[in-house]
Amino acid sequence: MKKILGTYLLITFAFAGQNVSFVKKLVSKENYEAVKKCPAYKEGLVNPTLTPFHMSLHHTTYGMAYWYSKKTGGFESLTNIPYQNLFCYKCHTANCYSCHGVKKGKAYSLSINKVYNDKTCYKCHARAKLAYMFDKKMHFMDVHIERGFTCADCHTTEEVHGDGTFKKHMLEAVTITCEDCHIKKAGQVVKLKSGLAYKIPAVKNTIPEHNRHVGDIACVACHMKTQISCLNCHFDNVLKTHKKIPYKNFFPTKSFTILANYKGKVYPANVMPLLYKDKTFMAIAPYFTHSVDRNGRKCKDCHANPDVVKAINRGVKLMKYNPATGKLEFAKGLIPFVQYEDGSYNIDMDYVKFGKNGLELVKRYTDKYQIILVKPLTPKQIERLKAKLKYEK
């Protein structure tokens, strides 16, 4: 106990010069006992401590364990390799220095300003970094980044450091929503971490799409430009190299957006397709890419759109191998997530590996799907997507 309190006081003192209390509270005795009951503790991933940080996803990385686990129908069911034996398990935020540490000569100091730089977050959140790079190539910029926002302007201390309660995955840990600002705080002027002042715009009730869909469709389903996806993760290579290298053991793309049901709303979904010893796997889950466009989609982008209807009726190959060219072709546009009467899904892809003469086709279908948290669109939703809107000519 003395050691933990000493660490708590030391950290608070280190930040006192910048008027920041890094650890706001100690976990109560009840929560201390609760740690011993949480899945992460039982699986040997965390030890009970008295600070909220050690219960956070940044420290436990339990989010990855949750999706990977056999218990949730994850990739472990194909590999039979326990999560604790993967190098991913070691990639966690061990202490304050992981994010706040600044090296000066041989000594380290702690800085709150370091986490106001998105590059600090991009060190681990590589998918967010890839999204930013893809957008830059397309001469597009997320509206919040364009206005000077950093990750820390939206994501709270409790989200990052933990609130003392166990979280299974990131969707439980992240609580900030579009409505928190653009409805509840609309018109207010806030000060960003950069020092800039920003007046929060309100949701416009003059936009037909807002009047029709606020409440049943998530804001990001229309305002997110496209989804960043990492396809064909060659897990054999990842295990050997302990690295995830774009275009070497996976193929990133930002050309499509999958729409599914999540928490009673239509929400963007993402895929995580993997290849291991010629066995193929695809996880489908809710995911938000920080690629927000101030101009959302119009009615015609979804309703009676020929490409959307084709994706519903005939299915979509997210990644397709062209034997004539030896190259990969990626899906584009909006893709509704649909389950057919025979139980199959409309989303699939080709799986490839690198051979002596370039890419080689391994399999044209997915052996096993993992679908939790999201659900396919309902027959009624599909019917509405196919139908031409009455007020359109």
C-alpha–C-alpha distance, residues 295 and 287, integer Å? 20
Task: Locate 221 and state its tokens.
Answer: 């389903």
Mean pLDDT of 91-107: 80
pLDDT for 45 equals 52
Task: Tell me if 293 sits within 8 A of 223, measured CB to CB.
Answer: yes
Report the first-to-last Cα separation within the chain, whole angstroms.
72
Mark out the alpha helices in the chain (DSSP H runs). Answer: 2-16, 29-35, 39-42, 57-60, 62-68, 76-79, 97-100, 118-122, 126-137, 143-146, 151-154, 157-161, 170-173, 178-182, 208-213, 219-223, 235-241, 299-302, 306-314, 379-386
- 20 — pLDDT class (breaks 50, 70, 90): very low
For CA atoms 175, 180, 181, 185, the dihedral sign is negative
pLDDT for 7 equals 39
Among 3-17, 47-61, 184-198, 206-220, the least confident range: 3-17
Taking CA atoms, 198 is separated from 114, 132, 189, in Å, by 21, 22, 5
C-alpha–C-alpha distance, residues 160 and 158, integer Å? 6
- 229 — pLDDT class (breaks 50, 70, 90): very high
Task: Locate 260 and state its tokens.
Answer: 């599914």
C-alpha–C-alpha distance, residues 346 and 348, integer Å? 7
Give the type of residue at 58: H
**Partner residues linked to 234 by β-bridges:** 275
Mean pLDDT of 205-220: 89
CB-CB neighbours of 34 under 10 Å = 17
pLDDT single digits (tens) 359-388: 999 999 999 999 989 999 999 999 999 998
Give the β-pairing of 197-199 and 189-191: antiparallel
E strand intervals along 143-287: 189-191, 197-199, 227-231, 233-234, 251-262, 265-276, 279-286
Task: Tell me if 82 sits within 8 A of 192, measured CB to CB.
Answer: no
- pLDDT higher than threshold 60 for residue 352: yes
Is pTM beyond 0.75 here?
yes
Share the mean pLDDT of the chain.
86
Task: Locate 47 and state its tokens.
Answer: 């030890």
pLDDT single digits (tens) 269-310: 999 999 999 999 999 999 999 999 999 999 999 999 999 999
Give the β-pairing of 368-371 and 279-286: parallel
- pLDDT higher than threshold 70 for residue 38: no
pLDDT for 105 equals 87
Task: Locate 43 and state its tokens.
Answer: 């699986």
- pLDDT higher than threshold 90 for residue 180: yes
High-pLDDT (> 70) share of the chain, %: 85
pLDDT for 142 equals 97
Burial of 389 (0-12, 13-18, 19+ CB in 10 A): middle
Among 89-103, 185-199, 224-238, the least confident range: 89-103
Please tell me which residue, 110 or 229, carries the higher pLDDT value.
229
Task: Locate 138 and state its tokens.
Answer: 């397309």
Distance, C-alpha 199 to centroid of its chain: 27
Taking CA atoms, 389 is separated from 192, 204, 244, 299, 372, in Å, by 41, 22, 44, 8, 32
- pLDDT higher than threshold 90 for residue 346: yes
